[in-house]
Structure 1
Amino acid sequence: MGNRNIPEVRFSGFAGEWEQCTLHSMVDRVKSYSLSRDVETSEYTGYKYIHYGDIHTKVADIIDEFSDLPNIKAGTYELLEKGDLVLADASEDYQGIAAPAVVTIDVPYKLVSGLHTIALRPKQVDSLFLYYLINSPIFRKYGYKTGTGMKVFGISATNLLKFESLFPVLEEQNKIGNFFKQLDDTIALHQQELTTLKQTKQGFLQKMFPKEGESVPEVRFTGFKGEWEQRKLINEIIEKVLDYRGKSPTKFGMKWGNSGYLVLSALNVKDGYIDKRVEAKYGDQTLFERWMGKERLEKGDVVFTTEAPLGNVAQVPDDNGYILNQRAVAFKTSKEKTDNNFLAQLLRSPLFQTKLQAIASGGTAKGIGMKEFAKMSVNVPVLVEEQTKIGHFFKQLDDTIALHQRELDALKVTKKAFLQKMFV
């Protein structure tokens, strides 16, 4: 069994045990003010603040030259400095207890710690190291154990400063803090690239499908002309709907396991791809085929969520076998009449999604039945060749987005693992 005073993963060149210290001995307090949203102003006053709500929404996080903090009215305050940490002392859940922000630059304005915050000034600890320690499972467990409240959870400055942990020498702290900062910068870059790709796709969806009252799109592949024609979704575009909602496979004798056919519910159907990690459970292949007969989901079939969330669209990625379950249906088409890739993008288009929301029923969790869905009509290209071009274009874009999403998810998993292994 390893030494409990030494982390599992460590930079080379460092040895020896980490030292047990209380947070109280490592920091000084900086005054916080009960400044709520009514002190904010749209004018630049030279004063900004950190409100606990902005910490939870990441408006205030790793504060640098790109941070856009709220302006407040000028006043006489004790100011924050480079290296200071500001923690939210209130949260709507235990996970957000003492969520931190850290000031990493000499800010060109006067910065104040606002409502429901605890401000700390490191004196014997690297600020980035402390920021990531507070985000690590070690402190999260302490916050969960120490936090109080029913609907709103909080932590007092007294309890916060009682937190004990193991700390390496400053040089090692600095290396760890900078390592996680570089990892966060990489994650932020990937997130921005992913956001840009999604925005690009959204722009093309608006321009490559006709707007309300129009029958020709704004942007079109060369070689195609003429108006798109209106067709009913069911029968004229979609040949068959596979709908097993309300027909529980478990009542048929299905038992869930770790192999066989993957069960698809609405939670698995993301915007553009099937997420196999969400509530992943599998059903017996033989029982399922006896139950469904020949109606198997095939590669390319379009899966559509009918509620919670409504209107997510993805395509079956392979022929490995899938079971339709809660809040999702699948569409089969005739290749001579409709391109599957095109259908998937048509259902994602802004005009269709707007129409869908307009006829959906329910309160917070809106849904749609197949009778209402069958009444919907859409404009489509007369030639399947044009559908295929459009579908292929968006499929390539979706594949790129999915690749970036997987890379981003992998980076986040990597960070989580390092947070567990590089702190004691």
Structure 2
Amino acid sequence: MSKDAKNVPALRFRGYSDAWEKRKLGELAKVRTGRAFKSSSFSPNGKYYVVTNKDIGGPQISTHMDGDRIDITNPVDIAKYSLSGRNLLVTMDGVNIGKTAMYSNEDAVLAQRVGRLTSSSLDFVHQITSQKNFLTRMNELSVGNAIKHISLKQISDYAVNVPQQTSERQLIGQTLSLLDNLIAATQRRIDALEQAKKALLQRLFDQSWRFKGYSDPWEKRKWSQLVGISKNMVDPTTGKYDSLIHIGPGNIRSNSRELVDLKTVKDENLISGKFHFDKGDIIYGKINPQLAKYTIAPAEGLSSADTYVLKPKSGIERLFLYYTLGTNRFFKYTVSVSQRTGMPKINRDELNAYSLIIAPSLFEQKRIGLFLRKTDDLIAATQSRLSSLELLKKSLLQDLFI
């Protein structure tokens, strides 16, 4: 077949040059569903877990699940509905219609109304069905009032451009699958690091862990004695602050010092009064304290009136104060005093009434702060790696597919 430039992706594996052709999913994979198992047959100690649509919410399904179980002894049913081997599952009912997930578990069986695809190019088929176009099309085709659903035929009839040769499909699928596994592993590493940080915060601030050489009991001190809450509100329309950054609660990720979508005062076209802050000041979101939005200012700027600018006084280290905001004790206090009618908010008097429990030694405070910052730096570096991998995946999808 002559090469058709309109049906050739930008990036090809060496040795492949034929134009891609339109094919239906039913031509690329065997499409079927499970069995309508009777609820009366379920048993809490059944050997097989029954996989249903509710189990499909992400690219991978955990093999450790709580749900209905069943005993099956008929070898024909076991062979037909067992989810051993590699399977691509598709949600056919409910709010997650069109969501797909790879799954393999010899101790699980498939329920009716869950799509199951098997193929010699399953990784490639997974990439096709993981893209937004497939999800959108399945939702467009879905019918029903209370509960939407799609059919096996609608899944089978979904058509896309694909390589003519099975070997090229397999190469593309395997390459992207390896990248997906790396992305998933990186996300798991981030999750593990965040859990480790949470444990470190707990142990360091409840003093169950102490650095060597420190044993003096910690002291209880009033917030107002150790922390200043800036009242330096300025007019952002004067032009004096145009080049400075502006930070509002929407720019701060919950439970993270990460800032997103920062713009200058001029770009934000601010008109109402804002708090001025210096580099290193702590910005704390006073609205909805349950969201735990706080950060350390990376440069001079202005912050929203929905934030407080916190400045440590003598007796408390800046990083120690910053990480205090992430402790369970502080979180529970701010949430408890902000639960009023309307928008939850913590006011200055409530903050000033809070009692900090601090290490009497500034050197111990500093060590705690620096130790936790190293953990945050590692989390940030891993998140940066994840973002790079996701950008690479996006780029490959654009170049490897038509």
The list of structure 1 runs, each at least 4 consecutive aligned residues, that deviate by more than 6 angstroms after superposition, is 36-40, 285-290
1:49 alignment partner in structure 2:
50
Bigger CA drift: 385-394 or 411-420?
411-420
1:304 alignment partner in structure 2:
284
The alpha carbon displacement at 1:327 in A equals 4.1
Pairs within 5 Å for 1:61-140: 61-62=59-60, 67-70=63-66, 72-75=69-72, 77=77, 78-79=80-81, 80-92=83-95, 96-103=96-103, 107-109=105-107, 111-114=108-111, 116-122=113-119, 126-140=121-135
Q: C-alpha offsets along residues 292-347 of structure 1, whole Å, 9 cap, x if unaligned?
A: 5xx5322222222233462525433522x44322743321123x332111011111
Separation of aligned partners in 1, 2:390 and 2:231? 36
**Gap runs ≥5 in structure 1:** 211-216
Q: CA RMSD in A?
A: 3.5
Which of 323, 338, 342 lines up with 1:345 in the alignment? 323
Is 2:366 the partner of 1:388? yes
Q: C-alpha offsets along residues 260-286 of structure 1, whole Å, 9 cap, x if unaligned?
A: 524432452332322224xx4432189
Separation of aligned partners in 2, 1:37 and 1:229? 59
Q: Is the 8 A contact 1:20 1:166 kept in 2?
A: yes
Query: Normalising to structure 2: TM-score of the pair?
Result: 0.83
1:213 alignment partner in structure 2:
none
**Gap runs ≥5 in structure 2:** none
SS of the residue 2:356 aligns to: strand
Is 2:212 the partner of 1:222? yes
Which of 192, 197, 213 lines up with 2:193 in the alignment? 197
**Matching residue's letter, 1:299:** K
Residues 1:150 and 1:385: Cα distance change in structure 2 (over 3 Å): farther
Query: Normalising to structure 1: TM-score of the pair?
Result: 0.79
Q: Is the 8 A contact 2:33 2:116 kept in 1?
A: yes
Separation of aligned partners in 2, 1:38 and 1:341? 59
**Matching residue's letter, 1:97:** I
1:7 alignment partner in structure 2:
9
Residues 1:202 and 1:175: Cα distance change in structure 2 (over 3 Å): same
Separation of aligned partners in 2, 1:229 and 1:154? 61
Residues 1:248 and 1:87: Cα distance change in structure 2 (over 3 Å): farther
Identity, % of aligned positions:
20
Is 2:387 the partner of 1:409? yes
Is 2:400 the partner of 1:422? yes
1:172 alignment partner in structure 2:
168
SS of the residue 1:227 aligns to: coil
Pairs within 5 Å for 1:252-401: 261-277=245-261, 280-284=262-266, 296-308=276-288, 310-319=290-299, 321-325=300-304, 327-334=306-313, 336-361=314-339, 366-401=344-379
Separation of aligned partners in 2, 1:236 and 1:383? 16
2:226 alignment partner in structure 1:
237
Q: Is the 8 A contact 1:138 1:423 kept in 2?
A: no
Residues 1:161 and 1:282: Cα distance change in structure 2 (over 3 Å): farther
SS of the residue 1:296 aligns to: strand
Q: C-alpha offsets along residues 6-36 of structure 1, whole Å, 9 cap, x if unaligned?
A: 2233323221111111223333333323459
**Matching residue's letter, 2:203:** K
